[in-house]
Structure 1
């Protein structure tokens, strides 16, 4: 069975045709199934039948996948369970039930990872990446594909899957307008092709390279690739690839202003009978309408745009309809129908915003929730200890009252009875001592537990920091690496707090000056640049502050100092950053300044970076006033109320 080497995109793309001998293959498998005796034979045949039927008929594919699943459950063999889950996933995948496909692929991947089946892990990572691509989640595609490529290159086999991944990565790069990266990845695919055996695959990749060249407006190169595909398609009588090539050549001719030649190519596709891909007809119709609109034949253009519009709807084919809406908007603008033009521009940008988005994940709130949960546990322990202590004090007071009454009675009853009450008092005191020992032990256990909690939180945050550091080793994108470093520093800023809590006797407050000194030292090491000498000065006296506010303040200082390192000293060989804390009655003022190049205006919160959003949000949580001074570098001040608990 052939995998889908690429997906529809902008002008056109490739979905490999089903092999002519598929029905013969299925018949042969049916005969083999009748003769199969062992469960191993049946599992392999069920899997092959489910795979073959996936491109032809969902019900048949799902039927054999279910048969395979029943056999796998009966055998309990992990490899059988991997195959059954993947077979069900393939059935849903080719029927575009993508959420169901993703569920079964993930189930299969979990089993493969448990038994460390590297080949199946790579295959399923490819499947999951392709599902994300079909759903339009382009940012989610890259991690799956990159992991699969890494495993396959280690295995040095499964070149067919590698070709699929390279080709699909090209689609992703084109969809996020990184056309040079798409061309590079297509060349990697061509490098592992067998030029004689894989002529069809070569043609498929050439179509995608032609698409990318058109996006880069390198029309001569695009024409070369399309002519190569056209020659191959005519030689093989492959009408599908011929239609792709003709549409592409029409776009090239249109770009050169040769509208007559472009219309000739588009008409050849429109007149072609028996092309299974509606997208090819859709493309030819809208391209022809575009040309007719350009030469002023607006009524004819309306006719062909309408035919194209009826083929697809925006829910099922949002990428294609996004491009059609842009063409319609331009067409109605040419024909002075500005109201309609404006409507289609709106539709175009609504779809574009829905399809292309940036994933930003802020883990800070998650860590905050974990810390609050642990604080609640600590409060419960404190309340229990306080209740026990109150009970013991009440018992002690009651005993004292009894002793007083007893002494009164002793005075009345005489010396003999006094001796007896003395012995009673001794026993009571002994019991009180034992209870005091229990109280002291409980308090010591509480303190030890609190330190252990802070220690574990620190260790957990350190593990997260290490994971971020490890992940950054596998990321080549500089912006992504920078984001990983910033996230690691945020985690480290919180880990320092818990480290100080379990090392100190005071479990509720931290010396802010000592903490900031450690935090700044870590940031200075993270952003060390041998070509640039940047000094950091800390001006702060001892201030004991509760943990909640230290966490917020630490994250703010982390973001401000990080911004200084990243932006303040571009083009400078040296610089100075000053972090200052000033106490003013019941207020504290944090000032972070640099002598760098400064900013033209304060950053806007809605248009700012994650760091800007964090600084603004955390300042509000401190109930602070945030201000910027842009004279002689940049100075950021935050003034907030604070009364120490120990005051």
Structure 2
């Protein structure tokens, strides 16, 4: 008698364990077999299990047996099925699996261009059996046929497939040229083709670094309703602003992130970790990647959700990317032996499931493995990964490859070749500095301008919503007033006591409703103000970043100092807005915390000084509004900066700075700043008219309706003033 079973590689672990125990296998072997199955190393096959007549009899018999006997018989039955499954798995493929047509054959046998288009874009790992060049040859034939018949829809479908194939081969210029031709030629594409075209152009523009054009494509996607909002975090990352990219990504992703979707959570944590790794926050990034790996493993073993082949492959590729990132973190931490297994596993999976597709991730992993073996002085293995045919199209990878080649030749004492690759790195960097600095600045300005427009649109929409709510409230008030008037005339018919009682109840309810409305309005107002201060702080930080970029491209020492001073002043103002939106009370700023933050900011600018100086701050309990806090913060910024630059030229460890701020009564205040440095020079009064810092402090003091007083003492200098 024969029974037919369709055995899957994914079983419940509890049932499998019963089956293995039923065969009498040793415990150590049991766990090895379970591990092999849960890692999905055994293929899914259709098998025929021949069950003896005696076992059928036992199966019927065990229904009448005790519970223990039932368990033993069930275990033996499952054990027989399991062992048969393992044996069948080791048989040749032609004996266990039926022959199936490849995706490439199905593609050619499809009866329409629409079917081929769907199959092409929905099939994962389509290059596993036939290379991208095989696909390209066939697609070109179909495209020529569509051009001869002048079928615009078929031409668009095959043209998009052709563009995607060139993209997968890394020929982004050709891919973009084809996509742009379709974009300009076919203005009336249906929604599905238009979505694929715009997504492809977005991807190619990003690969080529054409971010302005990429923004325009995303604006068109939004206009067509293909996306709800435009995000710029990937562009910020490509421009090197990794922290800004991470903040924007988290803000964008939290709207759609499903905590119950393990794949989404794993991808989210992997992206955040990538931005942290690029920002050189390696330990924090490694923590995020390990969390991502845990969620990725949960996604792969989650049997409660039926996954398609595409979802399974996407899960494996995500897991490989996470392992690669973990390995790169270990490389940054110089833990090379821990990095190698993660990188090699990642590389193996990426090459298996991304076969035929150009991937910078594969290049980065190969370079990282090569660096590990070089640092471990295993030069033979390093050369296996660091070969001349390791082509890359990203400048960062090209620089890294040349650096590793230089290191390799240095370790082999071939200093001539080592110097050759070092010179090549210098030429590449010089070319980048010469050609891309101005372009990247322009692109960053374009992205910021577009983000400002989006912010303005959001704020305008919020204002319109507030105005609409206000109109509704007015209309509601008018209706309420009409009701109240009607009630008043009705209540006049009743006695004075009943009238007074009912009127009192109505008035109390009206007051409660109005109070509730007012409270909601105040909450919305506070939220808007916090958002405004937050965005102002972000814009000021962006100005500071632009000044930093300009500093890197400036050779004049005086200009660099001026830019650094400007950046310090901008940070002082940004701190004001940061403190405001972090406070519950938006009208005042707690000065003790603000001064401490400002001191830390100034110390970060003057890294060589200020760290051996004892700074005392006495401003506990003092609060100022923004009109007084901004000029006060700029004055203090100038004073602390001058102390760090000039007061302690010998970096004296006995240096002291004392900052005192207090309120006198409810309106007046007193500020005092002293240091025990070298004091002011004798010609301070003559320099006052030419010094930017002194003139700025005097003007800021005028804003506070006071005068800045200076006492040049024997042991340093003292600045003080009263303010209203």
TM-score (norm 2): 0.41
TM-score (norm 1): 0.45
